């Protein structure tokens, strides 16, 4: 994007604002002088406005006309906008975008319905929900702190979802310039973020937030979140550390696990699961059913009956959307429970079922050392292969039958059309995918970076594998790190997992809300 000298624009805008004020006060200001000033301002603004419109519309025939229509309206909007603390260069990009998407009919038709709704909520025009005075103030502050260059780069990255190389090509600048501009914008936005000390939540204008769920009172060593419902309800496990002695092994450390459900900033204990176990938490689509299973017992919770603790009869690893199908392992074989009745999925051992699709049609897991997918409607068992090695395991499955998991130490995605493909193309990659959104478009998991540090990732077909710590740097405090993403909500808005929280110096469960833009 070409750089513009805004100093003349700002100076002229202030002069015009003074002339407007003098005219309203009855001073003898010649209208011809004011009109001439507006003509000069429109000429100064034209190159920047054309470039902004071109970046938003991508329709060369419409760009000139839309820019001219906007510039004609400058005399109507300048008196409302201009202020010494809010120079023209600070609000012009927002004003152009607002005009393009909410005033110009032809430009409006070039957007999808979802884009229209998103931008309506961003610009405060007929928002989908009532905004509080604090939120409105926050939006105004954000629109006031970014320069036009920063606003457009930030807009392309956050709203349009473009990758940095795409933005560089679009704006005819280097990737380094884009990264630096984006970093400046993030830093300025960070300063506009409000902090709720009670909930430890950082929220920006998109409704994005990172919430640390904390620990239970008697289980204050650490916590982890495994699964999240469409309404943001979370299921997970908190741990207590105890030092014990046994005659056979002497002194040892025991980690006692207790299940929890978190919703609306309330952490509720569901029951103890045992010591040194490997618990798994599952939650239904609506958040009204929960199963947390360890090798010793299972905690079943629903909104009507509360929590019930039962002895384990097999190992449960997955649950469907409505909570009436459980899958796992029973006597060394992959199994499925429907209404409490167990059904073996195959005669081969060892085998295990790790997950079931939302509608219960597909069940995935492993037979021997290879990933498999059971089609419950046809009875077909499909072996998914590997990424060229000897081992693979399927860990989650979407509604359309696309499967994610790990093979030979690498995260994969499998579809009938593409077969098994690695999510990260780096040969030295070490990663695994833990969960997938219902439509199969978003995958979360964990990976190691070049320094050997673990990080939580989000994968999409458009942007590939992205480090959540980089993608949402504006939500993290210094020293905090998102390490593993274990679950993603049905529509892909919420991500849960575990990470290191600097404020408490311990591992804690987190809930990442991607905001309205994700829906």
pLDDT at 125 over 50: no
Query: Which band of pLDDT confidence, cut at 50, 70 and 90, is reported for residue 478?
Result: confident
pTM of the model: 0.64
Cα separation, 514 vs 425, whole angstroms: 25
Tokens describing residue 404 = 């994610």
Handedness of CA 376, 381, 382, 387 (dihedral sign): positive
pLDDT: which is higher, 356 or 87: 356
Burial class (CB in 10 A: 0-12, 13-18, 19+), 24: exposed
Give me the mean pLDDT over the 480-496 stretch. Answer: 96
Which residue is associated with the tokens 């090798």? Answer: 295
Which pLDDT score, from 0 to 100, does residue 273 have?
95
Count the neighbouring beta carbons within 10 Å of the beta carbon of residue 78. Answer: 18
Cα separation, 397 vs 356, whole angstroms: 6
pLDDT: which is higher, 85 or 120: 85
Which pLDDT score, from 0 to 100, does residue 211 have?
93
pLDDT: which is higher, 197 or 109: 109
Give me the mean pLDDT over the 453-460 stretch. Answer: 95
Query: Which band of pLDDT confidence, cut at 50, 70 and 90, is reported for residue 80?
Result: low
Give the Å distances, CA to CA, from 232 to 16, 257, 284, 324, 511.
50, 22, 11, 20, 8
pLDDT at 154 over 70: yes
- List, in order of start, the domains of the chain with CATH numbers: 6-203 (no CATH), 213-312 (no CATH), 316-502 (2.120.10.30)
pLDDT 10s digits, 203-223:
444 568 899 999 999 999 999
Contact indicator for 486, 465 with CB cutoff of 8 Å: no
338 φ, ψ (degrees, to nearest 5) = -125, 120
pLDDT at 443 over 60: yes
* Short-list 65, 52, 160, CA closest to 104: 65
Which pLDDT score, from 0 to 100, does residue 153 have?
78
Which pLDDT score, from 0 to 100, does residue 3 have?
52
Which pLDDT score, from 0 to 100, does residue 26 have?
66
Give me the mean pLDDT over the 133-138 stretch. Answer: 48
Give me the mean pLDDT over the 15-37 stretch. Answer: 76
- Range of 19-23, 138-142, 423-427 with top mean pLDDT: 423-427
Q: What percent of the chain has pLDDT over 90?
A: 48
Q: What's the mean per-residue pLDDT of the chain?
A: 82
E-assigned strand segments in 264-409: 266-275, 280-283, 289-293, 297-302, 306-311, 315-319, 325-330, 333-338, 341-344, 351-356, 362-367, 370-375, 381-385, 392-397, 403-407
Give me the mean pLDDT over the 99-116 stretch. Answer: 51
């Amino acid at each position: 994007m070409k750089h513009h000298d805004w100093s003349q624009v700002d100076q002229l805008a202030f002069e015009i604002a003074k002339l407007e004020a003098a005219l309203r006060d009855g001073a003898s200001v010649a209208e011809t002088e004011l009109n001439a000033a507006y003509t000069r301002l429109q000429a100064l603004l034209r190159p920047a406005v054309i470039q902004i419109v071109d970046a938003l519309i991508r329709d060369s025939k419409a760009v000139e006309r839309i820019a001219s229509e906007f510039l004609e309206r400058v005399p109507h909007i300048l008196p409302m906008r201009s202020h010494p603390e809010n120079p023209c260069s600070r609000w012009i990009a927002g004003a152009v975008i607002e005009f393009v998407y909410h005033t110009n009919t032809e430009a409006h038709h070039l957007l999808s319905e979802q884009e229209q709704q998103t931008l309506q909520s961003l610009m405060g025009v007929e928002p989908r929900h009532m905004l509080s005075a604090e939120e409105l103030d926050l939006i105004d502050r954000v629109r006031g702190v970014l320069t036009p260059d920063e606003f457009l780069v930030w807009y392309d990255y956050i709203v349009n979802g473009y990758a940095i190389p795409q933005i560089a090509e679009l704006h005819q600048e280097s990737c380094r310039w884009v990264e630096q501009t984006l970093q400046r914008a993030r830093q300025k936005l960070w300063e506009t973020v409000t902090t709720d000390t009670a909930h430890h939540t950082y929220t920006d204008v998109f409704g994005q937030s990172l919430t640390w769920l904390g620990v239970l009172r008697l289980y204050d060593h650490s916590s982890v979140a495994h699964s999240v419902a469409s309404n943001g309800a979370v299921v997970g496990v908190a741990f207590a550390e105890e030092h014990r002695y046994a005659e056979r092994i002497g002194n040892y450390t025991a980690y006692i696990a207790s299940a929890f459900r978190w919703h609306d900033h309330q952490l509720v204990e569901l029951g103890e699961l045992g010591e040194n176990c490997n618990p798994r938490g599952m939650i239904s689509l609506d958040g009204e059913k929960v199963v947390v299973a360890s090798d010793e017992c299972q905690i079943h919770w629903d909104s009507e009956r509360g929590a019930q603790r039962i002895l384990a009869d097999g190992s449960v690893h997955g649950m469907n959307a409505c909570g009436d199908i459980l899958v796992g392992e029973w006597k060394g074989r992959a199994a499925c429970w429907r209404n409490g009745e167990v059904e073996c999925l195959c005669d081969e051992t060892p085998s295990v079922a790790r997950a079931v699709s939302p509608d219960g049609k597909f069940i995935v897991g492993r037979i021997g050392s290879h990933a498999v997918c059971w089609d419950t409607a046809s009875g077909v068992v499909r072996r998914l292969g590997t990424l060229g090695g000897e081992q693979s395991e399927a860990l989650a499955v979407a509604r359309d039958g696309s499967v994610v998991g790990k093979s030979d130490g690498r995260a994969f995605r499998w579809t009938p059309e593409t077969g098994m493909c690695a999510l990260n193309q780096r040969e030295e990659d070490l990663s695994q995918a833990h969960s997938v959104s219902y439509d199969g478009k978003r995958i979360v998991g964990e990976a190691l970076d070049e320094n050997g540090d673990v990080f939580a990732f989000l994968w999409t077909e458009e942007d590939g594998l992205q480090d959540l710590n980089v993608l949402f740097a504006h939500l993290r405090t210094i020293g905090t790190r998102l390490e593993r993403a274990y679950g993603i909500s049905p529509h892909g808005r919420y991500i849960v997992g575990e990470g290191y929280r600097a404020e408490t110096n311990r591992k804690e469960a987190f809930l990442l809300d991607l905001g309205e833009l994700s829906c």
